[in-house]
């Protein structure tokens, strides 16, 4: 499975490096979302402002929206010229395909989250304290998000309404991740990381559960797509 996962992740990242859809569209989109939140709730005037208080939640909502785009792109490349049939014919382990596609999206999202964190610090006037908790919660939340996204990405890829179906399926399922990640970040940014470790555990549980679910379910879902 791991060999197949590496092969698929390498292929997806190579396609992304060539097409630059993530860099040229997903990152600017997420930055615009962060900026629009700032315009709607700002300006940031010190630690007590609405924007400053809401920064963790706004950050994760922006990440969620970007995840939908990244997952859609991940499955759009399989929809062109029968590539998904090629993937089925390839003989690759479906669990490997799932892990590979999720890993490729995960890598792109983690890079995006670094950029977004800088934007939040700058635009929302928040000091990025509690670095370890921030990084750990980013890792766990991102694994959970891309696992759910990849499961529903393949479900929606066979539908003509795939653009609207994916967010409809995805957002309700990741609500617990949004909540836990926001709480963990809130605790970290407030300088009380001990308050956020419980939420980090929640994120880890969701990440493991969704990852396991994806490795089992992806094969049958790919067949039906």
Partner 1 sequence: MGPVISLRDAVSLAGRFPLLAGVTLDVAEGEVVHLRGPNGAGKSSLLRLCAGLVPIASGTAFVLGHDLRADRQSVRREVGLLGHASFLYDDLSVERNVRFAVRAARADLRGVDEALDRLGLGGRLRSTLVGSLSAGQRRRAALAVVVARRARRWLLDEPHAGLDAMGRTAVDELVRAASASGTTVVLASHELDRAGRLADRVVAVAGGRVVAAAEPSAPGVTAGPATPGAEGDDARQIAPSGEAEEDGRDVA
Q: How far is the CB of 90 from partner 1 (least distance, A)?
A: 4
Q: What is the spatial distance between Cα 30 and Cα 123, in angstroms, rounded to a whole number? A: 13
Q: Which is nearer to partner 1, 163 or 223 (CB)?
A: 223
Report whether 148 contacts 171 (CB < 8 A): no
Residue closer to partner 1, measured from CB, 24 or 131: 24
- Residues lying near partner 1 in the complex (CB under 8 A) are found at 4, 7, 11, 14-15, 18-19, 77, 80-83, 85-86, 88-92, 219, 223
Nearest-approach distance from CB 30 to partner 1, in angstroms? 22
Give the span between the Cα atoms of 97 and 78, in whole angstroms: 12
Q: How far apart (Å, rounded) are the C-alpha atoms in residues 128 and 191?
A: 9
Q: How far is the CB of 79 from partner 1 (least distance, A)?
A: 10
Residue in the structure block whose two tokens are 């990152």: 27
Comparing CB distances to partner 1, the nearer of 66 and 87 is 87
Distance in Å, CB of 212 to partner 1, minimum:
21
Residue 87 CB contacts under 8 Å (≥ 6 apart), including other chains: 78, 97, 222
Run of H or E including 108: helix 94-123
Alpha carbon distance 66, 5 (integer Å): 23
Nearer to partner 1, 90 or 159 (CB): 90
Residue 49 Cβ vs partner 1, minimum distance, rounded to whole Å: 43
Pick the closer one to partner 1 by CB: 146 or 222.
222
């Amino acid at each position: 499975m791991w060999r197949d996962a590496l092969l698929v992740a390498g292929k997806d990242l190579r396609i992304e490096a060539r097409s630059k859809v993530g860099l040229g569209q997903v990152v600017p989109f997420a930055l615009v979302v962060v900026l629009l939140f700032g315009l709607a709730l700002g300006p940031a005037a010190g630690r007590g402002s609405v924007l400053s208080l809401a920064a963790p939640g706004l950050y994760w909502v922006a990440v969620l929206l970007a995840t939908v785009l990244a997952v859609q792109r991940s499955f759009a490349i399989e929809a062109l010229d029968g590539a998904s049939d090629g993937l089925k014919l390839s003989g690759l382990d479906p669990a490997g395909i799932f892990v590979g596609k999720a890993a490729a999206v995960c890598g792109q999202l983690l890079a995006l989250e670094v950029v977004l964190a800088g934007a939040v610090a700058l635009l929302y006037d928040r000091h990025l304290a509690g670095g370890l908790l921030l990084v750990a919660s980013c890792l766990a939340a991102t694994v959970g998000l891309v696992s759910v996204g990849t499961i529903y990405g393949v479900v929606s890829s066979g539908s003509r309404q795939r653009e609207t179906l994916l967010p409809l399926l995805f957002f309700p399922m990741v609500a617990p991740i949004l909540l836990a990640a926001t709480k963990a970040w809130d605790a970290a940014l407030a300088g009380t990381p001990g308050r956020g470790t419980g939420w980090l555990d929640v994120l880890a549980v969701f990440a493991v559960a969704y990852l396991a679910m994806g490795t089992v379910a992806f094969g049958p879902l790919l067949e039906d797509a």
